[in-house]
Chain A
């Protein structure tokens, strides 16, 4: 597997694997990330996977840029282009429409579909988590059905509720906590995804599958004392 390496200052190297968002490149980033984490390289503090790159942060007292690059190249050369470290699939229950997804009617009419068809297309296949960012636990998902591509809101909301599930342009996503945003919201998950006291249920390289649930199931899950987890 070929990687281009660039310094990101004196404490990080950026490995670039491509220039576009695609399943193939996402799988390569994920494979390289797993290889780097499993190698426990001296001085490596953490990695930050993104759409087509992997940022590797290091302690300049323990290693340096050249030594790290040599190690990263060696790890990458041991991976072939088809190497796709299989991530886990995490199920996220979603109550669609009504007060839980106020933009569902708009998304449906924009796509020329019924609300039921939008729900079916949205929940039929798993989405790759390319990266987490923007907010803790916020997944950048790929694989949204083209028929559901919907422009972002013209005027962003000042607040979307925690657990909101929606789409912006060609991206699907679920928002771990309350925040402003311009996404079309079509549903909501009762899962409490943002909780610094507990590990996140997913990481970059994993897959998310949205599972439609009824309002009654939503309320039952939300009522769980410790917050529902997948």
Chain B
């Protein structure tokens, strides 16, 4: 597969480099992991195989060999040799055909999954691009025009027909296309509610600060990236400053910086940090967070850790159901 036009930021990503945080390696991986898993399942891949993550606008790619691909994540207007391509639908491309993915109509991050996966060499057991450490993906960097990406061997267990059947069922059950998330309605606006488990440092904040965080509206600022979403909204008051002894960070951690504003950590987050973390967004809601564009608004809602774990399991169950659809059709 050859990149003709890369788009603003297109990288190879999978489920992330797990179990290397103690050495200081950021996890990386797709920011919207549900969308990656869904796209992969619909082309018969394992959930976590490497695909392209595109930001704000899609890439234009040429297939050098016949391939089967799926678009997932942000709503893309795409054409394959000038014929429109639907989302969440396995599409067969002939050798020599060109897939053109335009600016996303909704959402921020789109995924192009190809049957067999993007077969760049793994680094530390994983193919995700780490833009800060310059490892993984293709030479540890964002894709450029002219780049050629190897595609892995076709997986067995599914056929183009069984995959199309699964996609058909998803068309009738569109709620399965994303994790079940929560929303608030404000006038005519639909505001994503990011459910977050308070802590681990909620004791660093005043009662008023906690209230401000869990009741305020926060706007996504333009200097957000794959490391984190910088938010702007009601200032969160600390009892005695936001500095803590540095400790481990996870994807979803919400740090309050010295200026009282939250930063929601995404896939490329550093492994440790020295700002107090008021809460951690639950894994299923990180998909919604990863699709927020600069200028959009979100709010946080406190959730108990047990309820959060239940929702994680529900989301995993949803993906298992989709996987069964692709196999037993």
A48 and B271 contact, Cβ closer than 8 Å, known pairs A9-B280, A12-B250: yes
Tell me whether B21 and A48 are in contact (CB under 8 A): yes
Interface, chain A (partner B; CB < 8 A): 6-12, 14, 16, 19-21, 45-55, 57, 60-61, 64-66, 131-138, 140, 196-197, 200, 203-204
Return the CB mask of B1-40 against A: 1 if under 8 Å, else 0: 0000000000000000011111111000000000000000
Which residue from chain B places its CB closest to the CB of A47 in the assembled complex?
A: B22
Residues of chain A within 8 A of B201, CB atoms compared: 6
Residues of chain B within 8 A of A61, CB atoms compared: 312-313, 316
Minimum CB–CB distance from A65 to chain B (whole Å) comes to 5
Which one of B199, B252, B312 lies within 8 Å of A60 (CB-CB)? B312
Which residue from chain A places its CB closest to the CB of B286 in the assembled complex?
A: A9
Minimum CB–CB distance from A33 to chain B (whole Å) comes to 8
Which one of A10, A200, A204 lies within 8 Å of B309 (CB-CB)? A10
Q: Total A-B residue pairs with C-beta atoms closer than 8 Å? A: 134
Q: How far is the CA of A19 from the CA of B42 in the complex (A)?
A: 49
Residues of chain B within 8 A of A9, CB atoms compared: 196-197, 250, 252-253, 280-283, 305, 308
Residues of chain A within 8 A of B247, CB atoms compared: 14, 48, 50-53, 55
Interface, chain B (partner A; CB < 8 A): 18-25, 123-124, 133, 135, 196-197, 199-201, 245-248, 250, 252-253, 270-272, 277, 280-283, 305-306, 308-309, 311-313, 316
19 pairs of residues in contact across A and B, judged by CB atoms under 8 Å: A7-B200, A9-B196, A9-B197, A9-B280, A9-B282, A10-B280, A10-B283, A10-B309, A12-B280, A51-B245, A55-B250, A57-B21, A65-B306, A133-B271, A134-B270, A135-B133, A136-B25, A196-B133, A203-B23
Tell me whether B200 and A6 are in contact (CB under 8 A): yes
Q: How far is the CA of A8 from the CA of B249 in the complex (A)?
A: 8
Tell me whether B272 and A133 are in contact (CB under 8 A): yes
Tell me whether B123 and A8 are in contact (CB under 8 A): no
Which residue from chain B places its CB closest to the CB of A56 in the assembled complex?
A: B248
Tell me whether A131 and B246 are in contact (CB under 8 A): yes
Contacts beyond the supplied A66-B306, A134-B270: 9 A-B pairs with Cβ under 8 Å: A6-B200, A8-B200, A9-B250, A9-B308, A10-B311, A48-B21, A132-B24, A135-B24, A196-B135
Which one of B23, B245, B283, B313 lies within 8 Å of A137 (CB-CB)? B23
Residues of chain A within 8 A of B309, CB atoms compared: 10, 60, 64-65
Which residue from chain A places its CB closest to the CB of B311 in the assembled complex?
A: A10
Minimum CB–CB distance from B271 to chain A (whole Å) comes to 5
Tell me whether A7 and B245 are in contact (CB under 8 A): no
Tell me whether A136 and B133 are in contact (CB under 8 A): yes
Minimum CB–CB distance from A82 to chain B (whole Å) comes to 22
Tell me whether B199 and A7 are in contact (CB under 8 A): yes
Q: How far is the CA of A6 from the CA of B201 in the complex (A)?
A: 8
Minimum CB–CB distance from B57 to chain A (whole Å) comes to 30
Minimum CB–CB distance from B135 to chain A (whole Å) comes to 5
- What 3 pairs across the A-B complex have the smallest Cβ distances? A9-B280, A55-B248, A133-B272
Tell me whether B272 and A48 are in contact (CB under 8 A): yes
Q: How far is the CA of A10 from the CA of B197 in the complex (A)?
A: 7
Residues of chain B within 8 A of A132, CB atoms compared: 22-24, 271
Residues of chain A within 8 A of B305, CB atoms compared: 7, 9-10, 65
Residues of chain B within 8 A of A21, CB atoms compared: 245
Tell me whether A49 and B270 are in contact (CB under 8 A): no
A131 and B272 contact, Cβ closer than 8 Å, known pairs A45-B18, A55-B247: yes
Residues of chain A within 8 A of B21, CB atoms compared: 46, 48, 55, 57
Which one of A47, A53, A57, A133 lies within 8 Å of B250 (CB-CB)? A57
Tell me whether A136 and B250 are in contact (CB under 8 A): no
Tell me whether A133 and B313 are in contact (CB under 8 A): no
Residues of chain B within 8 A of A57, CB atoms compared: 21, 250
A14 and B248 contact, Cβ closer than 8 Å, known pairs A9-B280, A66-B306, A138-B24: yes
Minimum CB–CB distance from B222 to chain A (whole Å) comes to 23
A46 and B246 contact, Cβ closer than 8 Å, known pairs A8-B277, A9-B283, A61-B313: no
Tell me whether A14 and B19 are in contact (CB under 8 A): no
Residues of chain A within 8 A of B282, CB atoms compared: 9-10
Tell me whether A10 and B25 are in contact (CB under 8 A): no
Residues of chain A within 8 A of B313, CB atoms compared: 60-61
Minimum CB–CB distance from B52 to chain A (whole Å) comes to 22
Which residue from chain A places its CB closest to the CB of B25 in the assembled complex?
A: A136
Residues of chain B within 8 A of A137, CB atoms compared: 23-24
Tell me whether B199 and A6 are in contact (CB under 8 A): yes
Choose among B18, B20, B246, B311 the residue with the greatest number of A CB atoms under 10 Å from its CB: B246
